[in-house]
Structure 1
Amino acid sequence: MSDHHSEDVKVLHSMGYAQELSRRMGGFSNFAISFSIICILAGGITSFPLAMGTGGAFEATIGWIVGGLFALIVSASLGQIASAYPTAGGLYHWSSILGGRGWGWATAWINLLGLIFVVASVNVGVWQLFRDLVVNGVFHVDVTSWTVLSTDPLPTGMTADQVAANNSHAIWVQIIAVSLITIVQALINHFGIKLTTLLTDFSGYLILVVAVILTATFLIWGASWDFSRIFAFVNNTGDAGGGYVPSPRTAIIAFLVGLLYPLYTITGFDASAHTSEETRDARRAVPRGMIHSVFWSLVFGFVMAVSFVLASPDLAATAKDGGSAWFNLFNNLPAPTVLKDILAIGIVVANFICALAGLTSTSRMIFAFARDGGLPGSSVWKVVSPTWRTPVAAIWLGAVLSVAATLYSPAFAALAAGCALFLYVSYAMPIAAGLLAEGKSWTEFGPFRLGVWSKPFAVIVLLGTLILMYAGIQPPFDILINYAIGLIVLLIVLWFGIEARRFKGPPIGAEIAKRQAEIAAAEIAVGEKV
């Protein structure tokens, strides 16, 4: 057993948990799983119309930097806590230790909802990209019957009844396609972290290579080289943005809503924390994994967004294209067909692995929360397969819940906004608890420290999250109000009605010492050398 492994297991035991999961991930793999979930080839493409439909080119470029810098501060703040408490389901665990078991319990549910939205939204994006870039773009198959068509105005030659029938069929095709995609991802996760790690490691390189080639393709075959476009803010809310934001809003609202473009994309980096118990030298590797994944996504995503803006023949027309904005730009590039076909396939593969990594993160959250009795049927969801060393039941539960999210809201935009909103709220919760606990009840720190920047960063995170919450419930995302209100009411009723008396939270104090015999038995059961 290596020194790092011994130290990792010792730290895990000190928090009252057994080494049940297989600790096979190195520093790069921990970085790659977060980088794969962020995947600038996912949100950086599928949410590009949101940027153009709100603040135009300025939103897609300068807005990307603003959102990316905020995400970098969030990742650094979380990294400091992760260095002190490297456990699966990190956010829940951190909130419980720093803010109390009720705060941790609420964090777990909000983070879990956000993670479910990650898998759901990206898999809807996988299907739409596969349909439009590969089936239609590469193989030239008509996908009209698989596509939800606009009703205002009606497509030429179609009646309202025909469009309604077409759209109903398209939604069912999407549900079936997303279900099949998710099943494949669950199977890959089921059969061990080694296979998942191989794919996410590959994805880390794939994203960089495809992003660079894609950027070069837009610049070589489409760029106007008019860099003044980068700073051109245009309020495209209402009809000017293809109705992405249905009614005209003020410029500040347009900018704030448009920040969902970078923040939907640069999210999910808590995957590095959720796989802490599968990472070697976790106290150092996990903070680095989160921060580096955000930083490189910020850099490469910005350059890529600039290439999209420079290659747009007419910025007003691109904004007017709405959800088709990026696809129209890509399809009209006079680049070699073979190159565009290869890029299309690479983009779809990267998005598939993005959602695969998201399901990995979701399952570890379910496993960690269930391990402490936080979920109904926890005894089922906390089980780790001795053969594959993965939480198989938690994996399949995450898969089912992510598909169910698309049934309630099949629209990509609402799922994407929900992902950003709920995840960043869950990120802010342990950071808020740490702000109040640091130097008081929180005196145990890891090797990664923010020092004098710790509390200022925490305040920035809290203020930024409040702004994001405001932007995230603006039309057309106001469907999220139903989710938010329902979730808040449900959490309050459950906590004060049942969970405040039943849920014990993570082990602390004497409870950790009592668990040592259980820890040894659990590790023997999965074949861990003790």
Structure 2
Amino acid sequence: MASKKRMHLEDEAHLATLGYKGAFSRSINIWANLALGFTYLSPLAGVYSLFAFGLATGGPPSIWWIVIVGAGQMLVALVFGEVVSQFPIAGGVYPWARRLWGRRYAWMAAWVYIWAIIVTITAVAEFGAGFIASLFDLETNRDTSLIFALVILALALLANFSGTKGLARIARIGLMAELIGVVGLGLYLFIFQRKNDFSVFFDTMNVAGSGSYLSAFFAAAVVGLFLFYGFEACGSVAEETSNAARTVPRAMILTIAVGGVSALFSFAGYVLAAPDLPSIVSGENADPIPSILESTLGPVGAKIFLVVAIAAFLSCTLSLQAAVSRLIYSFARDGMIPGHRWLARVSKSKVPANALLVACVAPALFCVLIWVNDGILVAVTSFAILGIYVSFQMVVLASLRQRIKGWRPAGPFNLGVIGTVINVLALAYGLFAMVLLATPGSSGDFFQDYVVLIGLGVVVITGLIYLFTARPDKKSDAPENDAIAVAEQVRTMTGANKVV
């Protein structure tokens, strides 16, 4: 008890050094922090959503994108770890960009990120609705998708309103559901239900025809790129995490490591257990996982999996809402967003209730738009992955800029002399990933081929118009661009010079 009280005092003293007074309950330990990031990353949802696409585009070797992207995002997580260790502030991307660069730069990073996460919440709720419909043997159509998506959003909101302890508890339940649904099922499939040989992961199965397989392989990159974000959510709840400067960096790294291994088990299990792999690779079977589960688990086992999957989707939505609400709260606390006083209010249960309402209502409105025209689902979500990577790399670039100016990260998580090398590699990886995501398609349909860039362009342009007309940065006097000065303060306060 005395140790917990001491850590709490140290956390609050660190926060005070950064210019803020704590308004939350520090009820999240490392396992709950990991659970929040892991359920946001959600390998179950990611693999299920892109399994058929990956095989049809790049064949079984598309699994290697999980390894490639996992390694690249680990570099980003290490950079984020150093930043959050010095700046354990609620909101993640926004406060990090602000303290590393400045107000307007941070405003754009947060603006892009908020919209990317809002449409991601929409997509997760829409995908989860299909699982609920399948559980009750209902047809998946526009009406059932809307109803069940709204149910998922509402249940996640109610859980978030329960407070930080409730969030941590449900996130841990979601973590167990994810591990059962991806690692447990994956192991079962390729140990007891294997119908294909391991060599299949090196067999292109002629997906490129007479063309270059390299092009097909790069086109399948989204299999990994869609999976590996969510670890930054560990930092969004930094002010609710005990011993945050040490706990959050470790939780982010564990999220990448455990998420990557889980995704590999899941993807590999489905491939090895597929009774008719050529039909999936040819695109003839566009939704193969239900048939794989039915043939290997039987009707009862498939239903049990649906229950586990629904729990994972609910937990993923919960974590997404929690993360974006803390970012909105952090944005509002600095007076950088319309309605900032209302959005910065913290409820009696120590959660940013009004920001949480926005995190639920905005995706619900998108769900209604999709119900009106279900053809826009791809259009409203396509920019989300690229938008998130853009926001990430704005932080990575700002971190490198500070290092060049002489910044030596001062948190207890510190990479030491290799920090700059890792920062450069993380930026190089991020640019590579963004090029892959932004490269137009070749279908011949202009909107379909350029929808990712169109979506990002709309968000960026509207953000710039508001930024330079309303000038929210002029209304905020919170600290900015002070990484070097704060590093000296933190070193004085904590003596944090060792590498961990």
When normalised by structure 1's length, the TM-score is 0.82
Closer/same/farther in 2, CA of residues 303 and 477 from structure 1, 3 Å limit: farther
Identity of aligned pairs, percent? 25
Change in 2 beyond 3 A, CA 1:412/1:330 = farther
Provide the rounded CA distance (Å) in 2 between the counterparts of 1:398 and 1:123.
12
Q: How far is 1:498 from its partner? A: 2.7
Aligned equivalents of 1:280, 1:477: Cα separation in 2: 46
Using the TM superposition, give the Cα deviation of residue 57 of structure 1 relative to its aligned residue in structure 2, in angstroms: 0.6
Q: Select which of 331, 349, 368 maps to 2:294.
A: 331
Distance (whole Å) between structure 2 residues aligned to residue 456 and residue 509 of structure 1: 22
Q: Distance in 2 between matches of 1:353 and 1:284?
A: 25
Query: Is 1:202 the equivalent of 2:205?
Result: no
Residues 143-182 of structure 1 aligned to structure 2 (within 5 Å): 143=139, 146=140, 170-182=141-153
- In structure 2, relative to structure 1, the CA distance for the partners of 1:456 and 1:323 (3 Å cut) is farther
1:229 aligns with 2:200: yes
Q: Which runs of 4+ in 1 moved over 6 A?
A: none
Aligned residue number for residue 136 of structure 2: 135
Distance in 1 separating the partners of 2:153 and 2:323: 14
C-alpha change, 1:254 and 1:294, in structure 2 (3 Å) is same
Question: For 2:471, what is the secondary structure of its paired residue?
Answer: helix
Q: 1:186 to 1:509 in 2, by over 3 A?
A: same
Give the superposition deviation at 1:79.
1.0
Give distance in 2, aligned partners of 1:293 and 1:278.
18
Query: Which stretch of structure 1 is more off in the superposition, 499-508 or 63-72?
Result: 499-508
Which of these residues, 407, 413, 416, is aligned with residue 448 of structure 1? 413
Q: Give the counterpart of 2:229 among 263, 267, 279.
A: 267
Q: Deviations over 1:188-214 (max 9, x none)?
A: 111211111111012222222332331
1:114 corresponds in structure 2 to: 116
Alignment: residue pair count? 467
Q: Does 1:45 align with 2:48?
A: yes
Return the alpha-carbon distance in structure 2 between the equivalents of residues 439 and 362 of structure 1.
Answer: 31
**What is the rounded CA distance, in whole Å, between the counterparts of 1:216 and 1:416 in structure 2?**
32
Q: Whole-Å Cα distance in 2 between the matches of residues 30 and 249 of structure 1? A: 45
Preserved contact between residue 87 and residue 273 of structure 1 (Cα < 8 Å): yes
**Pairwise CA distance, 1:290:** 0.6
Match of 1:465 among 430, 438, 441: 430
Q: Which range is displaced more, 289-298 or 478-487?
A: 478-487
Match of 2:486 in 1: none
CA contact (8 A) 1:35 1:293 kept: yes
Q: How does 1:275-290 map to 2 (within 5 A)?
A: 275-290=237-252
Residues 1:501 and 1:267: Cα distance change in structure 2 (over 3 Å): closer
Aligned match for 2:28, one of 25, 29, 40: 25
Residue 207 to residue 173, structure 1, CA distance change in 2 (3 Å) = closer
Asked if residue 497 in structure 1 is aligned to residue 464 in structure 2, the reply is no
Please tell me whether the aligned partners of residues 41 and 230 of structure 2 are also in contact (alpha carbons under 8 angstroms). yes
Asked whether the equivalents of residues 125 and 412 of structure 1 are also in contact (C-alpha less than 8 Å), the reply is no
State which drifts further: 260-269 or 407-416.
407-416
Deviation at 1:355, TM superposition (A): 1.1
Letter in 1 for 2:152: I
- Bigger drift between 202-211 and 85-94 goes to 202-211
Question: How far did residue 450 of structure 1 move?
Answer: 2.1
Gaps of 5+ in 1: 147-169, 241-247, 511-530
Q: CA deviation at 1:336?
A: 4.1
CA contact (8 A) 1:56 1:315 kept: no
Change (3 A) 1:457 1:257: farther
Report the Cα distance in structure 2 between the residues aligned to 1:477 and 1:389, rounded to whole angstroms: 45
| Conserved 8 A contact 1:54-1:254 | yes
CA RMSD of aligned residues (A): 2.4
Residue 400 of structure 1: CA displacement?
1.3
Kept in 1: contact 2:55–2:280 (CA 8 A): yes
Which residue of 2 is the match for residue 215 of structure 1? 186
TM-score by length of 2: 0.87
> Which amino acid is the alignment partner of residue 331 of structure 1?
E
Amino acid across the alignment from 2:5: S
Give the Å deviation of 1:253: 4.0
Could you tell me whether the CA contact under 8 Å between 1:312 and 1:329 is conserved in 2?
A: yes
1:84 corresponds in structure 2 to 86
The 10-residue stretch of structure 1 (484-493 or 408-417) with the greater mean CA deviation from structure 2: 408-417
Q: Would the aligned equivalents of 2:241 and 2:247 in 1 still touch at CA under 8 Å?
A: yes
